[in-house]
Chains A and B, each alone.
Chain A
Amino acid sequence: MPTTDNTLDEILNLAATHFRVPREKLTPDDDFFKTLGIDSLQALDLLTRLEHHFRIELPDYELQGVSDFRTLAGKIQSRL
């Protein structure tokens, strides 16, 4: 079972690759909307990719109020 840090790392790698942002520019406590420059449609796109990557189902209402990678990793971890 991966740790939350492992999960966080995978999220940051996936986000950097998909949204073409240098990995070193992303930190766990970043606001991913601002750092990745995405809107809610693109956030849904990210959610779908994360669900496929981690093979989980994560209801989008779980993202309410979530805007940083660390908290997102916690939500994903709870579904692994």
Chain B
Amino acid sequence: MREHSISEQKGETLSWQMVNGAIELTFHHKPCNEIGSLMLAELETFVRALPEAAREAHALILHSSQAAGFSAGADLRELYHRSQGLKKAEATRGVRDFLERIHAVLNTIDALPLTTIAAVHGVTFGGGFELALVCDIIVADRMARFCFPELRLGLIPGFGGIPRLKRDLGNAVVRDLLLTGRSFNVMKAQQVGLVSQIAAEGEALRVARATASQIGKFDRATVAAAKRFVKPIPYDELKQEIDIFCDLYTQPAVEKGLRGFVENRTAQPYLP
């Protein structure tokens, strides 16, 4: 993906364009927007182009064009295969590098002066859930499901999910999600305060656009100031999360969990 201005850009895993004063970032990486090194590189290109766009836009909408869902999270196959044949220390350094880069991207989006809206549907798991959590508002269609399945692999969420979920929800809900690794539907998500609006199936983007249009009526500097006031970014906890993730990554349970996911063709990876 070449460096371009914000107005329009098409990459292999994601694309963006301006629609009625809102930047729409569309994820289109088959099968379900798994976040690996290619998507990370394209996200980095996107955030480099963002400062220019922040001058022209009043909102940023994240959404997926993949039928299966918003994002199934980290590319576990890439994570597994990249570490094969490496000494543990070297593999862990590689993971830390990836995490620090994705954190830099997500922290940038989290702190944008624009209002950010995640329009989600279907599977919104792991890193995909974390991507939605950096946004100010989550709009979900009725088929969306949210999950932190990382404990099934001997890990914790590594893209900032725990600090951001703690920022937004009560600790009891965070413990339920994290410690059971279960997924829950949009009704529950709205009950606990995670999802702002529920859309009919396939209508999340339309609802997000209507929300962005409403926000576009307000003074941009005032919106930016209000957002800075109500949305602290838990930088210390985010760094701590990376350290914990990298410590866990060296444990045998992770190798076993990842190998089970990658090599077992009869596995049902989206069920516990």
From the candidates B32, B122, B181, B184, name the one contacting A57 in the complex (CB within 8 A).
Answer: B184
Say yes or no: is A78 at the interface (Cβ < 8 Å to chain B). no
For chain B, the count of residues having a C-beta within 8 Å of the partner chain is 23
> Could you tell me the distance in whole angstroms from the C-beta of B257 to the nearest C-beta in chain A?
16
Shortest Cβ distance from residue B108 to the other chain A in the assembled complex, whole angstroms = 30
> Which residues 39-55 of A have a CB within 8 angstroms of B?
39-41, 43-45, 48-49, 51-52
Q: Residue B143 contacts which of A43, A48, A61 (CB distance < 8 angstroms)?
A: A48
User: CB-CB < 8 A to B267: which residues of A?
Assistant: 40
In the bound complex, CA of A51 to CA of B147 (Å)? 16
Q: Find the A residue at minimum CB distance from B143.
A: A48
Which secondary structure characterizes the binding site on chain A? helix
Residues in A with CB closer than 8 Å to B123 are 41, 44
Give the number of A-B contacts (CB < 8 Å). 53
Is B28 at the interface (CB under 8 A from chain A)? no
Residues of A in contact with B, size category: 10 to 19
B271 touches A59 (CB 8 A): no
Q: Knowing A45-B143, A61-B180, say if A40 contacts B185 (CB, 8 Å).
A: no
A40 close to B145 (CB less than 8 A): no
B residues whose Cβ falls under 8 Å from a Cβ of A: 32, 68-69, 122-123, 142-143, 145, 147, 180-185, 187-188, 267-272
